[in-house]
Amino acid sequence: MSELISGQDRYFIRRMREDDLPAVRAIEGLSFSNPWSDNTFRGEIQNMPVSSPLVVVRRPGEEVVGYIIYWQIRDDVQVNNIAVHPECRGLGLGEAMMRFAIAKVRAAGAEFMTLEVRQSNVAAVTLYKKLGFEVLGTRKNYYTKPDEDACVLGLVLDQ
């Protein structure tokens, strides 16, 4: 377990476990209109070493307050999912998770990271641009409930 950020509360990041799934699914349901299933999350937990499903926990009690899932295949990384519980948004946890992931994959020799985000998710797009991601293009009708295009963003990691 690694300390992610500290302040009045202390947060830590660690590998997602099966017993985290109720909390992860609750956050997923509060965050997305088309949430992932338990089976999808279980598949990510079992898809080692490609998948890195991580959770952010708050002490005491290790309450799960956020998660990030990314894949690294050789030099390329794809962020597949990231969310923070609504009660913990605005604390910098999303940015801290992204910075943690970027540092991990850089250290592992990755060269490029991509992700998709709803075009209407201005807060996320702003965060990713702050972290150095650039717009690569659009995926038409990528999202459902409601139908929406995805903004494809990329980050060169060798900089």
Residue 8 has pLDDT above 70, yes or no: no
> How big is the chain, counted in residues?
159
Q: Which residues contact 40 (CB under 8 A, 6 or more apart)?
A: none
The structural domains of the chain, with segments of one domain joined by +, span 2-156
What sign does the dihedral 130-1-75-70 (CA atoms) show? negative
- In this prediction, residue 9 carries a pLDDT of 72
CATH code of the region 2-156:
3.40.630.30
Is the omega angle on the peptide bond into residue 146 within 30 degrees of 0, that is, cis? yes
Average pLDDT of 129-153? Answer: 94
Residues 122-158 as b/e (b if ≥16 CB within 10 A, e otherwise) read eebbebbeeeebeeeeeeeebbeeeebbbbbbbbebe
User: How many of the other CB atoms lie within 10 Å of CB of 14?
Assistant: 15
Question: In this predicted model, what pLDDT tens digit does every residue of 34-88 receive, in sequence order?
Answer: 999 999 999 999 998 899 999 999 875 678 999 999 999 999 999 999 999 999 9
pLDDT band at 3 (very low <50, low <70, confident <90, very high): confident
